Each structure stands twice: as structure tokens, then as C-alpha cells.
Amino acid sequence: MSLIVVGTMAFDAIETPFAKTDRIVGGSATYVAYAASNFIQPIQQISIVGFDFPKEEMEALKSRGVELEGVKVVPDKKSFFWSGRYHMDMNSRDTLVTDLNVLLDFDPVVPPSYQSAEFLMLGNLDPKIQMSVIRQMKTRPRLIVMDTMNFWMESTMPELEEVLKMVDVLMLNDSEARQLSAQFSLVKAAKEILKMGPKYLIIKKGEHGALLFHGDQVFFAPALPLEEVFDPTGAGDTFAGGFMGHIARTKDISFDNMKTGIIVGSAMASFCVEKFGPQRLKEITRADIDTRIQQFVDLVNFDIELV
């Protein structure tokens, strides 16, 4: 009943209008694993790192039930590095540096011990890599969720279209949904995207929350209104980790349970943005998570008696 997480484990250097980091640990699979491991263990990680990725970080992940057999360590290359600067609204950012390094050689091999996994989370990667992982699974996982981004729509659309037919749930942000569908209205965009393969679509709107579409059904979860967003890096991956962790824990892949997964994901993302990198995710306890989820209940809960 495990969860496979495929994605990057990397370094980021982040500038916001209020603060700045040197190189810190990041990467989509790192955030997914830190978030999901609160709900489900083991997590079976698939990634690639260079000689420079910290041993302590590997140990920290292991201690949270993250199996690293599928993480290739390349002894003579550096880990993937990204550097970016956020604008005042924290919703938009400029990329300053992208050093692919080991990511150029990423050709993941699914270890035999991962073969029975029921849940598969494909972080934002080249659709060819996402497809390769799905094809290596001898038994199709019960639920395959993927993230993607505008870069792949522009550079490798045929492969993206192919992998979209192989997954159950697609996650992307609002501008990516508009780009993929060529529709401005998110409701129309969802209709178009659901024709491309996935049965479920999650559109992430950052501080404006997230939408889940399935057939004619729609669910909306707000982001928690926060006094400060310190660093939004990894919030989308943390959301994915909370969502997948909840689904894998409950083993329930119904629309109704996905709604709850989205609330759990939103709660996890609201922690992520409170400090640089995955720092805050390492600190929080189950009690913190329960309290935060209760805040979401209070935020949207109302009684109504129809007129």
C-alpha cells in the first residue's frame, strides 16, 4: 500500500522582496515526500542527485519512512540547481539560474521492491520520463497523479498528450490550464482538459485556492488567508504531497475523498510558505496539522436553510 513519488531532489536559491537564501535543499519529490510522509509510510522515492546532495537530508527522509532505493546518486556530477526571484505579489517569479546537471541523465529505473505500489505521484518532469515510469509498472497503480508545466506544452506537446492519456489525475496551475486548453474560462478549460485523458483535474490558483473537476462536478478549496507568505517555493508540490498522502492513507479514490485530499493538501501548503524551503514541513507535528485542517473547516463552513 505504498506511494511512489517521482520528481527532482535539488538545490534552490531563493530571493523574495523580504529575504534571500543561499543554496538550500528543494526539488518537487523532496516537498512531496516531506508532506506525504505525515500520512503514509513507506514512500518509495524515485529521483536523481549529484555528489553534493547532503547525506543528512537523505537520513532525514529515511527517518520519515522515505525509501531511497530508487534515488540514483551520480558521483561526478552536481545536483539540479534552480534560482529564482519572487515579485511583490509572491504569485509571479523570475528564474535567474537553471543548472540541470544530473537531471540531463535522469532515466529512472523502478526498483523491483517498488512494484506493488498502489499510488503513483509523477512530479513535473519531461513527459517521456513520466511515461517511462508508468510503463515500468507491471501492475498499474490504482491512482496515477501527474503534475506538469508550460515548458512541456511548448517543447514536447505530443509526448505530453500521450502521457495525459495514461494518468487519472492532472494537477496544474491556472495559467497552465488556460495554455493547455486554449480557453480563458477555467470551467471551459477543465472541460477541454478532461477530454485529453485524465478523469480528474486539479487547478491550483495559489493564494486563490484550488479547484477539482470530475465530469460535471466541481469542488473548490480556498488557500488559508495568511498574514505573510514568506516563501511560496514548493507550495504546489507540498499540496500534491498532502493530497496523495491523504488518498494513500485512506485508500479511497472517490471524488468525495479527493475533496478531503485537497483540503489536506491546502493545509500542508499553508505551512510550506511560512519558512524558506521545506524547513517548516520538517518542524510540524500531527497536532499542528489537525489544528490547521480545523481552520479550513471553520473558514468555509456555513449553515444554510433554503429560502
Site of interaction with a second copy (CB under 8 A):
38-39, 88-89, 184-188, 205, 208-209, 211, 217-222, 225-229, 249, 256, 259-260, 262-263, 286, 289-290, 293-294, 297-304, 306-307
Please report how close the Cβ of residue 270 comes to a second copy at its closest, in angstroms. 12
Closest listed residue to residue 237, CA positions, set 58, 2, 26: 26
Could you tell me the smallest distance in angstroms from the CB atom of residue 225 to a second copy?
5
**CB closer to a second copy, 143 vs 229:** 229
CB of 248 to a second copy, least distance (A): 12
Residue 253 CB, nearest approach to a second copy (Å): 15
Are 204 and 172 in contact by the 8 Å Cβ rule? The answer is yes
What does DSSP assign to residue 114?
Answer: G
Q: Rank residues 182 and 297 by Cβ distance to a second copy and give the closer one.
A: 297
Residues 45-82: b if buried by 16+ CB within 10 A, e if exposed? bbbbbbeebeeeebebbeebebbbebbbebeebbbbbb
- Which residue lies nearer to a second copy by CB, 107 or 227? 227
User: What is the Cα–Cα distance from 11 to 25, expressed in whole angstroms?
Assistant: 5
Q: Measured from the CB of residue 224, what is the shortest distance to a second copy in angstroms?
A: 9
Please give the Cα distance from 271 to 168 (Å, whole number).
27
- Supply the minimum distance, in Å, between the C-beta of residue 180 and a second copy: 17
Spatial neighbors of 130 by CB under 8 A, at least 6 apart, are 6, 122, 146, 163
Q: Which of 228, 153, 167, 163 is nearest to 200 (CA)?
A: 167
Closest CA to 288 of 43, 38, 40, 42: 38
Specify the residue, 100 or 218, whose C-beta has the smaller distance to a second copy: 218
Of the pair 88, 135, the CB lying nearest a second copy is at 88
Which grid coordinates are listed for 41?
A: 509510510
- 240 vs 263 by CB, closer to a second copy: 263
